[in-house]
Amino acid sequence: MTTSDAPKADEDGAFPPPAPPRLVATDLDGTLLGPDGAVSAYTREVLLALEERNVPVVFVTGRPIRWMEHLWEEVGGHGLAILSNGGIVYDVASHSVRRARTIAPDVLVRVARLLRSAVPGTTFALEKTTGFSREPDFMPRLKIGTDPGVPVAPLEELVDGEVVKLLARHEAQEPEEFWRLAEEAVGHEVTTTWSSVGTLVEISGAGVTKATTLAELCGDLGVTRSEVVAFGDMPNDLPLLDWAGHAYAMENAHPSLRAGARHVAPHHAADGVARTLARLFGL
């Protein structure tokens, strides 16, 4: 697909489905949220209108639980969210983990050793259902004194049965190149992806993605993939957009999403998700 052939963000919904979707799945950073990391007044209005129509809006994000508390009110303080790139299904009302797709401790240790060998200088942190822990050299600017509740120790001492995501960081590599090296080294054991500006590879259990967990959730709810509309902006959203029946890459999305996008929503700074939903649902 050439640049001139690539789909463009438009104002009429870009080939909307014949009937409104039954479920909305949206990434957060760079997608539903504005550049300030907040939900705009207009987006909040659209989300509340969908709630009144009993249309579930599922946040599908790489964020861990600890980065979500201030956002729950935006979905009315209820419903379900998919966190940690599919590692957790979270019940918003009860503030509890409904389902966790964890990585076995022996796999974590083996993957870390393989990645350290392939890319010397790699450091690690762990996202768990119970919180966050890290190695001493992971993001050196995180001083131990500023996060006294976070366990800091060698990875082998931190692993347990609650880990949903292994974070691998390198201070000298470029983000996409580091991901490529990580995929070559450990992609046969786990799922690797990336989504942040920094050089950080996000590692989940084998077969765990935003898409596979959303597919399970939709099965529980009796919703088919053809009834789902999804939005995303970064490489970790690719499986989600490939799976959903109606998928929108953001105008500001990474080139890997824009290149194969079926539809493009306006920029996240312009409330692109909300404006597209308003058109699709006739709000």
* pLDDT value, residue 4: 39
CA distances from 205 to 98, 109, 112, 152 (A): 17, 13, 13, 23
Counting Cβ atoms within 10 Å, is residue 223 exposed (0-12), middle (13-18) or buried (19+)?
Answer: buried
Q: Specify the length of the chain in residues.
A: 283
Mean pLDDT per 10-residue run, the chain (283 residues)?
A: 42 58 94 91 93 93 86 74 94 90 97 96 94 88 62 94 95 89 95 82 95 96 96 93 95 88 93 96 91
* pLDDT value, residue 143: 56
* pLDDT value, residue 263: 94
Q: H helices then E strands: how many in the chain? A: 8, 13
Residue 44's φ and ψ, nearest 5 degrees, are -60, -40
Q: Count other Cβ atoms within 10 Å, centred on residue 3.
A: 8
* pLDDT value, residue 80: 87
Residue 203's φ and ψ, nearest 5 degrees, are -120, 125
CA–CA separation, 172 vs 195, rounded Å? Answer: 17
Which residue's entry shows tokens 């052939």?
A: 5
Nearest to 281 by CA among 1, 17, 9, 4: 17
Q: Are 153 and 170 in contact (CB under 8 A)?
A: no
* pLDDT value, residue 18: 65
* pLDDT value, residue 171: 87
Domains of the chain: 23-100+209-281 (3.40.50.1000), 105-204 (3.30.1240.10)
